[in-house]
Structure 1
Amino acid sequence: MIFSKAVSGTPSALFPNADFDLFPMQSTGLVSVPFGYLAGWLGNSLDHRRQAANSLENRRLYEESEARLLAAAE
């Protein structure tokens, strides 16, 4: 977004007199939204906490917490 025409180089830009746009489009969503999904998928794929969440110890702790939460609920 910083290097797009929305920030510099056009009359309606934040800095109309400066021209430091490296991205040739006015709307950066065409690139930033798919990039965001790709980054989210990559972060989820490389996350090692998922392996720990499947352990029996974590399941036991979850069941204990769930019982306490449901007992306190009205």
Structure 2
Amino acid sequence: MSDTQKIDQELDARGLKCPLPVLKARKAMKAIPPGGLLRVLATDPSAVEDFQAFCRTTGDHLLESAEEQGLYRFLLRKKA
């Protein structure tokens, strides 16, 4: 991610199981302006598919999906 991009909100969903990370992200996205960024941290491996489906459904964009040592990081851009 570029240093010039400002994260509007970060959601810590570590330790939560499906579907809670996506449900909490949906709620968090309501407070983010169009085009804004939400970073989500999760530990549930099923979150990868869940966030892909979430973005297909909502029209938001999954800009980043990465995993390192069991920590999943997602960067979502709210649709404009």
TM-score range, shorter chain: under 0.3
Higher relative contact order (CA 8 A, sep 6+): 2
More strand by share: 2
More helix by share: 1
Which one has the largest radius of gyration? 1
